[in-house]
Structure 1
Amino acid sequence: MFSNITDLTGRILLSVLFLSAGLSKLGAGYEGTAQYMAAMGISPALLPLVIATEILGAIAIIVGFQTRITAFLLAGFSILSAVFFHLDFADQMQSILFMKNIAIAGGFLALMSHGAKRFSIDAALAART
């Protein structure tokens, strides 16, 4: 039982960052994020995809739906974010953000490896078959 609770708690903690980031970009943060992406050489046209990835990916991980696939995709998203936006190692904050993204990718890869446990849609669907 404890393992199931820690699994759910871990999924929530990994996802909260993405959910809050995606939601913040829907409002006042949209224009600033678009400008930041453009300044980093990334097309702001990709911003709706980024927002959808953050929000839908976070929700999928929290509820445990297609957990392994979603965790793999969010690990890749985290690595790409680190590489495209946080490679300025002369700036200590950028170094910290780079390592944060890499650590989050590691958490998602571990989740991909183990999948979601009992408190998940994946487990409910597996029990039905």
Structure 2
Amino acid sequence: MDGAVLVGRSLIAALFLGGAVQKGLDPDPAMSLLTDRGLPGVLVWPALVFNALAGLALLAGWAVRPVALTLAGYCAVTSMFHLIPDDPWQMSIFVKNWAIAGGCLVLAAHGPGRYVLGRPNSGAV
């Protein structure tokens, strides 16, 4: 089962790492989502940093419980940017965000499994 946890944790990490790269290479779509809802577009940069650090922490297996719990909340909040009932594509993203939040909650409840890089004293076990 620890192998399945590693694969699941890595897949979730890949999503957030990919999101960080996407925001860095082409920030305009994310900035538009923010500004369309009256938020400053510059919030894309702290989101990029959060996505990158959280993704790396999950991948390494460091502080998985608190990171995954925070990511679940992040997914719940960011899902609201995609709550556009007339747009099936945006509604698909909305539902996927909640599914990712669910996966993060499972990680938060069960931890990183046996396979982690080192054993930092940061809630990894």
With the length of structure 2 as denominator, give the TM-score of the two structures: 0.89
Structure 2 spans left out of the alignment, 5+ residues: none
The 5 Å alignment of 1:81-120 reads 81-83=78-80, 85-120=81-116
Over the matched positions of the two proteins, sequence identity in percent amounts to: 30
TM-score, scaled relative to structure 1: 0.86
Q: Is 1:53 matched with 2:50? A: yes
As a proportion of its length, which structure holds more helix?
1
What amino acid maps onto 2:24 in structure 1? L
| RMSD, matched Cα | 1.5
The alignment of Structure 1 onto Structure 2 pairs a total of residues equal to 121
Q: CA deviation at 1:108?
A: 0.1
State the 4+ residue runs in structure 1 displaced beyond 6 angstroms. Answer: none
Displacement, 1:36? Answer: 3.0
d(CA) in 2 for partners of 1:73, 1:90: 29
How far did residue 39 of structure 1 move? Answer: 1.6
Would the aligned equivalents of 2:62 and 2:120 in 1 still touch at CA under 8 Å? no
- For residue 32 of structure 1, report the CA deviation from its aligned partner: 3.5
Picking from 56, 62, 65, the partner of 1:65 is 62
Q: Which amino acid aligns with 1:109?
A: L
- Give the whole-Å Cα distance in 1 for the aligned partners of 2:98 and 2:7: 20
**Larger Cα Rg: Structure 1 or Structure 2?**
1
For residues 25 and 45 of structure 1, what CA distance do their matches in structure 2 show?
Answer: 11
Which residue type is aligned with residue 63 of structure 2?
Answer: Q
2:4 corresponds to: 6
Task: Please give the per-residue CA displacement for 1:49-87, whole angstroms capped at 9, x wherever unaligned.
Answer: 10011111011011110000000111011011101x111
Alignment of 1:25-40 (within 5 A): 25-27=23-25, 29-40=26-37
